[in-house]
C-alpha cells in the first residue's frame, strides 16, 4: 500500500512538473528577443515596424531661462526646441502622458528615473496586433494620434525594451514625430528646482553650440498662445457606441479643447453617442439637438479662449440640460460661473494626486472620501475659504466647491447647487485616467445617467426651458453637417535616422 501511495505521489509530481515545464516553455516563447533595438512579439501578433534604429545621440543641454543648465545626451529628433519646463510624478504610462494634448508646448520631465523600458505600441486601432473593442474605437490606442509634448526630459533612457505590444523604442517614436529628448541629466535636482522656483521656460539645445544658453528674449512662453487651437478638431464628427445611434442612451455634444481619447472611450462605454465640436463652435446655435454637453481637457491658459467662456456661460444661464467639464473644461465652467483662475507655481502633474470630495454625486463620489487621481494642469480656480457673500473671492450664488486637493488645498472641482435649477459638474482632475488610477471612472456613468434622466423628464415636462422629446438628439435632430466620420491619422514626413520617412501615428 505504501508503495502504491509513493507511486501515485510520484506520478502526480511528474504531472505537475510537466505542466510547470509546459507553462515555462510557453512563457519563454512569448518573451521578447532583441534585434536592432526592436522587441519581437509572439508569432502571429507582431506589429509592423517602420524604423529599426533611432538617430544617434548627440551632446545636448537643457537650459532654463533662470540661468541653470543641465548637460546630457540627445535622443529622438536631433533638433533644438523651446517650451515650458514642467515635471510629472507618473511612474508609468509615459506613452499616454506624451500623447495627452494637455502637454502641448511643454518640455516634460519625468521624475521616474528609467523611461522607455517597455517601448511604444502601435497607435493605430486598425493596425493593432490586439483586437480593439469596437465600442471604444476612437482612432487611437493612446491618447491622441501624435506625440504632443514639445520635448522629453529623462534621467535614464532605455533603448532596449520589452512588451508584447511594443512596436519601437521611445527614441525612435520621438524621432518619427520630430520631438527631441534629452537623457542623462539629474532629474531629481531639476524637479527640486522647478518645485522651488516654479515651472520655468526652457530650451533643449542639441549638437554644435549646445552649451551656449539662448538669449533671454529668445525663450518662448507657450502659455501666451492659444494652444487649444493647435489640438482641437477643426471639423465636427460623431462617434456612436456599440449598436450605432439607435442603441445610444443619450447624444452628447463635446467641445474639444484637446480631448484625450479615453474621455471618448469612457462616454462610449456608457452608451452615449458623442458629437465632437471645434473649441470655438457656436454650440448654442445647435444646443437643443443634444441631451447634454461635455467640456474636455486641453493645454494652456483658460483665458486664451474667451469665446468658449462666453459660449459656456450662455449655455449655463439659458440651457437646463446637464453639463460636465474636465480639466480645462473645469476652468472654463468656473470662469463662466464668475470665478477666477490663476497660474499655479508648478502645477499638478502625475497619477498620484489625492483629492477630497466635499459633496456626494451619483454613486461614484461620496463626501469626505479621498480619491487618488490622474492630473495634468498648470492653472486652477481661485477661492477664498469662508468668505462672506459679496466679498471678493466669495463663491458665486448657486455654486459650491466639489473637490479640493489634499496636498495643496487647490480647488479640484465645482458643481451647481440643487436649488440653482442646473445640473453642472466640473472636475480639475482626470476621472478617465489613462494612465493612472481608476478611482473616479464611475463619474462618467453617473453623468450619462443624469443626462438620460433629464432626457426622460423632458418627455413628460414640455414647458419652461425643457425642449420637447421630438427635438432631442436621439430623435434625429442633430444637423447633418455635425455627423461627419471620425478623422483618422494622416501620414506625415518626419526626420528619422536615415532621412525622411513617411509615418502615420
SS3 content of the chain, % helix, strand, coil (to 5): 30, 25, 45
- Separation CA 126–CA 137 (nearest Å): 9
| No. of helices (H) and no. of strands (E), the chain | 9, 25
Could you give the angle at which helices 261-269 and 443-458 cross, rounded to 10 degrees? 60
DSSP state of 279: T
Compute φ and ψ for 364, nearest 5 degrees.
-100, -20
- Separation CA 338–CA 325 (nearest Å): 16
**Burial annotation 53-77 (CB, 10 A radius, 16+ → b, else e):** bbbebebbbbbbbeeebbebbbbbb
Cell 459660449, residue located: 311
Q: Which of 45, 21, 50, 305 is nearest to 173 (CA)?
A: 50
Cell 491622441, residue located: 144
- Separation CA 110–CA 262 (nearest Å): 22
Active-site residues, by number, are: 327, 430, 432
- Separation CA 296–CA 311 (nearest Å): 14
- Residue 75's alpha-carbon distances to 53, 64, 68, 201, in angstroms, are 11, 19, 21, 20
DSSP state of 131: P
Q: What angle do CA 482, 483, 484 make, to 5 degrees?
A: 100
Tell me how crowded residue 30 is: count the other CB atoms within 10 A of its CB: 12
Non-local (6+) Cβ contacts of 476 within 8 A are none
Element holding 400 (H helix, E strand): strand 399-405
- Separation CA 36–CA 209 (nearest Å): 30
Q: Which of 272, 275, 267, 331 is nearest to 305 (CA)?
A: 331
Amino acid at each position: 500500500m505504501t508503495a502504491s501511495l509513493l507511486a501515485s505521489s510520484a506520478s502526480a509530481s511528474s504531472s505537475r512538473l510537466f505542466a510547470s515545464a509546459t507553462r515555462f516553455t510557453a512563457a519563454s516563447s512569448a518573451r521578447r528577443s532583441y534585434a536592432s533595438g526592436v522587441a519581437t512579439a509572439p508569432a502571429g501578433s507582431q506589429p509592423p515596424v517602420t524604423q529599426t534604429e533611432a538617430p544617434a545621440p548627440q551632446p545636448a543641454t537643457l537650459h532654463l531661462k533662470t540661468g541653470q543648465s543641465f548637460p546630457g545626451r540627445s535622443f529622438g529628433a536631433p533638433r533644438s526646441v523651446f517650451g515650458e519646463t514642467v515635471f510629472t510624478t507618473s511612474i508609468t504610462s509615459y506613452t499616454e502622458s506624451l500623447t495627452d494634448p494637455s502637454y502641448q508646448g511643454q518640455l516634460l520631465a519625468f521624475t521616474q528615473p528609467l523611461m522607455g523600458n517597455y517601448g511604444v505600441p502601435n497607435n493605430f486601432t486598425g493596425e493593432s496586433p490586439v483586437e480593439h473593442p469596437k465600442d471604444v474605437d476612437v482612432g487611437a490606442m493612446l491618447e491622441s494620434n501624435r506625440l504632443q509634448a514639445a520635448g522629453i526630459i529623462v534621467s535614464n533612457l532605455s533603448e532596449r525594451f520589452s512588451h508584447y505590444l511594443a512596436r519601437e523604442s521611445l527614441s525612435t517614436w520621438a524621432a518619427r514625430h520630430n520631438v527631441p529628448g534629452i537623457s542623462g541629466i539629474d532629474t531629481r535636482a531639476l524637479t527640486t528646482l522647478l518645485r522651488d522656483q516654479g515651472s520655468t521656460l526652457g530650451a533643449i539645445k542639441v549638437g554644435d553650440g549646445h552649451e551656449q544658453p539662448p538669449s533671454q528674449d529668445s525663450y518662448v512662453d507657450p502659455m501666451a498662445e492659444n494652444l487649444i487651437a493647435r489640438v482641437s478638431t477643426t471639423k465636427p464628427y460623431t462617434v456612436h457606441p456599440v449598436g450605432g445611434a439607435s442603441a445610444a442612451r443619450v447624444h452628447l455634444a463635446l467641445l474639444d479643447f484637446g480631448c484625450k481619447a479615453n474621455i471618448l472611450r469612457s462616454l462610449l462605454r456608457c452608451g452615449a453617442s458623442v458629437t465632437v465640436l471645434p473649441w470655438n463652435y457656436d454650440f448654442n446655435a445647435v444646443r437643443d439637438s443634444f441631451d447634454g454637453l461635455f467640456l474636455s481637457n486641453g493645454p494652456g491658459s483658460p483665458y486664451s479662449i474667451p469665446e468658449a467662456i462666453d459660449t459656456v456661460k450662455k449655455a449655463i444661464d439659458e440651457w437646463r440640460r446637464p453639463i460636465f467639464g474636465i480639466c480645462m473644461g473645469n476652468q472654463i465652467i468656473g470662469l463662466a460661473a464668475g470665478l477666477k483662475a490663476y497660474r499655479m507655481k508648478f502645477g499638478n502633474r502625475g497619477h498620484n494626486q489625492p483629492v477630497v470630495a466635499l459633496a456626494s454625486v451619483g454613486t461614484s463620489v461620496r463626501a469626505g472620501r479621498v480619491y487618488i487621481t490622474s492630473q495634468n494642469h498648470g492653472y486652477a480656480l481661485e477661492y477664498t475659504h469662508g468668505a462672506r457673500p459679496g466679498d471678493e473671492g466669495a463663491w458665486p450664488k448657486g455654486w459650491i466647491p466639489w473637490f479640493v486637493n489634499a496636498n495643496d488645498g487647490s480647488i479640484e472641482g465645482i458643481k451647481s447647487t440643487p436649488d440653482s435649477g442646473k445640473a453642472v459638474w466640473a472636475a480639475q482632475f482626470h476621472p478617465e485616467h489613462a494612465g493612472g488610477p481608476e478611482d473616479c471612472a464611475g463619474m462618467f456613468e453617473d453623468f450619462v445617467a443624469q443626462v438620460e434622466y433629464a432626457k426622460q423628464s423632458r418627455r413628460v415636462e414640455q414647458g419652461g426651458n425643457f425642449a420637447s422629446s421630438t427635438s432631442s438628439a436621439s430623435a434625429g435632430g442633430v444637423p447633418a453637417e455635425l455627423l461627419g466620420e471620425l478623422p483618422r491619422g494622416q501620414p506625415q514626413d518626419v526626420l528619422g535616422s536615415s532621412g525622411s520617412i513617411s509615418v502615420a501615428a
